Amino acid sequence: MSTIFTKIVKGEIPSYKIAETEKFYAFLDINPLAKGHTLVIPKLETDYIFDIEDEDIAEMIVFAKKIGLAMEANIPCKRIGMAVLGLEVPHAHIHLIPINTVYDIDFKQPKLKLESAEFEAIADSIKTTFELNN
């Protein structure tokens, strides 16, 4: 059975999409630790990130870097933190999270509840910058 993220890539489940390439897809985390919290995933369903081929994981990180820079331009923060857990969804993903302190990337913190319009506005702003710069 497909993962929830494969269903997102195929458009079977909606997402607040930021950008995609032939191999990767970036979209807002639905339970964000901070405004702009983004997930970068491979389109090829792979559970464990370290099972991704060397060339592809390198490309995935470069894609994540470009997304992170577009986030930084739109979300006030000290920097963008990167984390990989993969304990919940068995489809590799990099978390990109705007942070000011170490506590902002603590996954035990309560998640933000945002309205759909706010998710859309955040995704649109990051997407616009990403498209301008790439």
121 binds ligand AMP per the rule CB under 6 A? no
88 binds ligand AMP (CB under 6 A): yes
Piece of 43-51, 62-70, 84-92, 123-131 that binds ligand AMP (CB under 6 A): 84-92
Closest CA to 98 of 119, 116, 73, 81: 81
The correct pick among 11, 76, 87, 110 for binding ligand AMP (CB under 6 A) is 87
Q: Nearest-CA neighbor of 13 among 27, 34, 24, 23?
A: 27
CA separation for the pair 84, 121 (Å, rounded): 25
Which residues belong to the active site?
93
Give the phi and the psi of residue 79 in degrees, each rounded to 5.
-165, 175
Tell me which of 43, 65, 86, 118 binds ligand AMP, using CB under 6 A: 86
Distance in angstroms (rounded) separating the CA atoms of residues 67 and 36? 11
Pattern 12-31, binding to ligand AMP, x per CB under 6 A? -x-x-------------xxx
AA letter at 89: V
Q: Which residues bind ligand AMP (CB under 6 A)?
A: 4, 13, 15, 29-31, 39, 85-89, 93
